[in-house]
């Protein structure tokens, strides 16, 4: 717990490093900010997302235009399946720090959950333009491309990362699903069999292999 609290004390410092927090005009002390984050994380850990949101609202009410609090709220609203709110806060975080990757990757995830694959693709290419080998940027973009029928582009991204990390089960699974949906069953079977060696409980791999047998 001490490590968490120390981290959150550091998070309080983040507010004064160009993130629209005016220490002279502050209505909350660093301790109050840190305690709000600490309480929010504890609620999240216990699965109480509603109270996790309420705990951090104290900070947001005073500093609605800061990066950290908007990113935090976006994450919590995503967990709570309040996707419109999540999108709103991620976009606010990006407005504060346009080059930040975390809210862009968060937006990609929210748009995947709400099946807005064109938006995923749009943001994904923005991410890859800055960070060509970004792990989740490539994975989520490949997923969105598969869902929109752009199979060649999806395969290219997956193989790009697998060339660096050949045993990565998330990318292998996604490639197996891509081949399965294209009726490339021998390739799908071979990949999913490898996935099960690396990850014996992989549900997608089991489902694909079962479908191929039928």
Condensed to tens digits (0 to 9), the pLDDT of residues 169-205 reads: 999 999 999 999 999 999 999 999 999 999 999 999 9
The rounded distance, in Å, linking the Cα atoms of 44 and 67 is 20
Lookup: tokens for 214: 């039928």
pTM, 2 dp:
0.86
Count the residues in the chain: 214
* pLDDT for residue 1: 45
Q: Which residues contact 45 (CB under 8 A, 6 or more apart)?
A: none
For residue 156, the tally of other CB atoms under 10 A from its CB is 13
Phi, psi angle pair for 66, to nearest 5°: -100, 150
Whether 126 contacts 91, CB under 8 Å: no
Whether 112 contacts 140, CB under 8 Å: yes
* pLDDT for residue 28: 83
Domains of the chain, by residue range, sit at: 166-214
Of 35, 2, 29, the C-alpha closest to 16 is: 29
Average pLDDT over residues 102-118: 98
**Cα 53 from chain centroid (whole Å):** 18
């Amino acid at each position: 717990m001490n490590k968490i609290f120390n981290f959150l004390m550091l998070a309080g410092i983040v507010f004064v490093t160009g993130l629209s927090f005016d220490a002279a005009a502050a209505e909350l002390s660093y301790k109050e900010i840190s305690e709000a984050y600490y309480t929010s994380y504890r609620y999240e850990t216990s699965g109480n997302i509603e109270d996790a949101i309420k705990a951090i609202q104290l900070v947001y009410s005073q500093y609605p235009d800061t990066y950290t609090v908007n990113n935090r709220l976006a994450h919590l609203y995503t967990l709570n399946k309040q996707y419109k709110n999540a999108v709103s806060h991620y976009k606010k975080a990006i407005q504060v720090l346009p080059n930040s990757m975390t809210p862009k990757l968060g937006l990609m995830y929210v748009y995947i959950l709400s099946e807005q694959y064109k938006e995923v693709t749009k943001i994904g290419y923005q991410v890859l333009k800055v960070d060509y080998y970004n792990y989740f940027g490539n994975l989520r973009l490949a997923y969105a491309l598969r869902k929109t029928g752009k199979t060649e582009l999806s395969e290219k991204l997956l193989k790009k990362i697998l060339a660096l990390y050949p045993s990565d089960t998330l990318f292998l699974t996604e490639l197996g699903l891509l081949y399965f949906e294209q009726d490339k069953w021998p390739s799908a079977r071979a990949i999913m069999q490898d996935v099960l060696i690396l990850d014996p409980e992989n549900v997608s791999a089991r489902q694909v292999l079962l479908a191929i047998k039928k």
